[in-house]
C-alpha cells in the first residue's frame, strides 16, 4: 500500500511538471525562442514555398485557373505627348489572387493573420500593359505582397505607365481625347489565369488621391473585359481595357489664341468703315 501511494505521488509530480512545461512553452512549439512568431512564419512560408515551386501557378490542381483581380487607381496624368502620341500616367495597380501554397493556422503562430513577403520570392501574375510605349523593361516599382492566412494575396505596386494613344486634334483647342490601357497575361491563357475586375468595378478609380491636371480634365474612366479566341488556339484569352476620356482645358488657348484673333479681326472690319482720308484710319492701320 505504501509503495502504491509513493508511486502515485511520483506520477502526480511528473504530470504536474509536464503540464507546467507545456503551458510555458507549448505555444512556441512551431518557432524558436529567438524568433518572433511573424519572423518564424515568414521563414517557414519561404522555405516551404521554395520546395514546392516559385514559378508554377499556385494551385494543387493544375487544370484549375488562378483567378486574378485587377484594379487601377489613377493618381495623375503626367504628360500627353501629342507629337509622339504617348500618354504618361501615374497609377496604383492592385492585384488580388489566392495562393494555395501560402496557408497557415493562426493558432500555431500566436494569432498572426498576415505577413509581408518579397514578391520575387513567390508567384505573381504576369499581367502586362499590351499597348506600352516605353523603353523601360519594367514600369512597376517594387512593392511587397501582403499574404493572409487563408492564402489570399494583395499586391499594390506603384507604376508609371506610358501607353500609345491615337489623338484627334481636329477640334483643337476644344478637343476631347480617348486613350486606352489594355492589360492581360503575357503567357497564360484564360484557362490558366482568369483575369477579372477588382470588386467587379468596371472603371478606373479617381478619388481623393487624384491630382488634377491643369491642361486636361478627366470626364470618364470606363473599362471592359474582353475575351478573344484565335484561330491557332482553342483556349480563350482575357484582357481588361481601361479607357480614359478627358477634355483639353481651353482657357489658356482662349486667352492667347482665340481672343487676340477675334480682336484683330474686329479691328480689321472696323477699318473698312472709316473714311480713307481720316487720320484715325492711318493710325489704326
Predicted pLDDT of residue 140: 72
Range of the domain at 189: 50-246
Angular region, 124: left φ>0, alpha ψ -120 to 50, beta rest: beta
Predicted pLDDT of residue 91: 95
DSSP 217-261: EEEE-BEEEEEEE-TT-SSEEEEEEEEEEEEE--HHHIIIIIHHH
**Domain presence at residue 14:** no
Please count the structural domains in the chain.
2
Which residue did the predictor score with more confidence, 111 or 11? 111
Q: What percent of the chain has pLDDT over 70?
A: 78
pLDDT tens per residue across span 192-231: 999 999 999 999 999 889 999 889 999 999 999 999 988 8
Predicted pLDDT of residue 21: 46
**Domain presence at residue 30:** no
Same-domain pairing of 158 and 119: yes
**Domain presence at residue 170:** yes
**Domain presence at residue 94:** yes
Same-domain pairing of 109 and 213: yes
Q: Residue 193 and residue 66: Cα distance in Å, rounded? A: 5
Closest to 159 measured CA to CA, from 89, 209, 241: 89
**Domain presence at residue 140:** yes
**Domain presence at residue 15:** no
Same-domain pairing of 272 and 163: no
Cell of 132: 506600352
Identify the DSSP state of 209: T
10 pLDDT more than 90: no
Of 41-55, 61-75, 146-160, 262-276, the one with minimum mean pLDDT is: 262-276
CATH (domain of 182): 2.70.170.10
Predicted pLDDT of residue 14: 58
Same-domain pairing of 130 and 260: no
Same-domain pairing of 234 and 263: no
**Domain presence at residue 192:** yes
Same-domain pairing of 273 and 186: no
Same-domain pairing of 132 and 176: yes
Same-domain pairing of 240 and 260: no
Q: Residue 237 and residue 13: Cα distance in Å, rounded? A: 68
pLDDT tens per residue across span 98-119: 999 999 999 999 999 999 999 9
For the chain, what is the mean pLDDT? Answer: 85
Q: Can you say how many angstroms the Cα of residue 196 is from the centroid of all Cα atoms in its chain?
A: 13
Q: Average of pLDDT values for 254-274?
A: 69
Same-domain pairing of 145 and 97: yes
Predicted pLDDT of residue 25: 46
Q: Residue 158 and residue 141: Cα distance in Å, rounded? A: 5
Of 6-15, 155-164, 224-233, the one with minimum mean pLDDT is: 6-15
Same-domain pairing of 129 and 60: yes
Closest to 182 measured CA to CA, from 127, 230, 139: 127
Query: Does a cis peptide bond (omega within 30 degrees of 0) precede residue 173?
Result: yes
Q: Average of pLDDT values for 167-181?
A: 91
Same-domain pairing of 259 and 238: no
Predicted pLDDT of residue 27: 45
Using the structure block, give the residue that is written with the C-alpha cell 477675334.
262
Same-domain pairing of 156 and 235: yes
**Domain presence at residue 158:** yes
Helix (H, G, I), strand (E, B) or coil at 66: strand
284 pLDDT more than 60: no
Q: Average of pLDDT values for 158-181?
A: 92
Closest to 45 measured CA to CA, from 146, 143, 142, 141: 146
Q: Average of pLDDT values for 244-264?
A: 75
Closest to 123 measured CA to CA, from 43, 71, 50: 50
Amino acid at each position: 500500500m505504501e509503495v502504491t501511494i509513493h508511486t502515485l505521488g511520483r506520477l502526480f509530480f511528473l504530470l504536474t511538471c509536464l503540464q507546467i512545461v507545456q503551458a510555458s512553452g507549448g505555444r512556441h512549439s512551431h518557432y524558436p525562442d529567438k524568433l518572433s512568431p511573424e519572423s518564424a512564419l515568414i521563414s517557414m512560408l519561404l522555405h516551404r514555398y521554395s520546395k514546392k515551386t516559385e514559378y508554377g501557378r499556385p494551385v494543387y490542381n493544375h487544370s484549375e485557373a488562378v483567378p486574378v483581380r485587377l484594379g487601377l487607381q489613377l493618381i495623375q496624368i503626367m504628360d500627353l505627348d501629342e507629337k509622339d502620341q504617348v500618354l504618361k500616367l501615374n497609377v496604383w495597380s492592385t492585384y488580388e489572387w489566392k495562393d494555395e501554397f501560402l496557408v497557415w493556422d493562426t493558432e500555431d503562430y500566436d494569432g498572426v493573420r498576415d505577413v509581408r513577403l518579397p514578391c520575387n520570392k513567390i508567384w505573381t501574375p504576369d499581367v502586362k500593359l499590351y499597348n506600352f510605349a516605353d523603353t523601360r523593361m519594367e514600369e512597376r516599382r517594387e512593392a511587397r505582397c501582403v499574404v493572409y492566412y487563408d492564402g489570399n494575396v494583395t499586391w499594390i505596386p506603384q507604376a508609371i505607365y506610358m501607353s500609345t494613344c491615337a489623338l484627334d486634334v481636329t477640334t483643337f483647342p476644344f478637343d476631347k481625347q480617348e486613350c486606352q490601357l489594355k492589360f492581360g497575361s503575357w503567357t497564360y491563357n484564360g484557362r490558366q489565369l482568369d483575369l477579372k475586375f477588382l470588386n467587379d468595378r468596371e472603371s478606373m478609380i479617381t478619388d481623393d488621391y487624384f491630382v488634377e491636371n491643369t491642361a486636361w480634365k478627366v470626364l470618364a474612366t470606363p473599362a471592359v473585359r474582353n475575351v478573344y479566341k484565335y484561330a491557332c488556339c482553342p483556349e480563350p484569352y482575357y484582357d481588361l481595357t481601361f479607357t480614359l476620356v478627358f477634355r483639353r482645358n481651353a482657357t489658356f488657348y482662349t486667352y492667347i489664341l482665340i481672343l487676340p484673333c477675334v480682336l484683330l479681326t474686329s479691328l480689321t472690319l472696323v477699318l473698312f468703315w472709316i473714311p480713307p482720308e481720316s487720320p484715325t484710319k492711318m493710325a489704326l492701320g
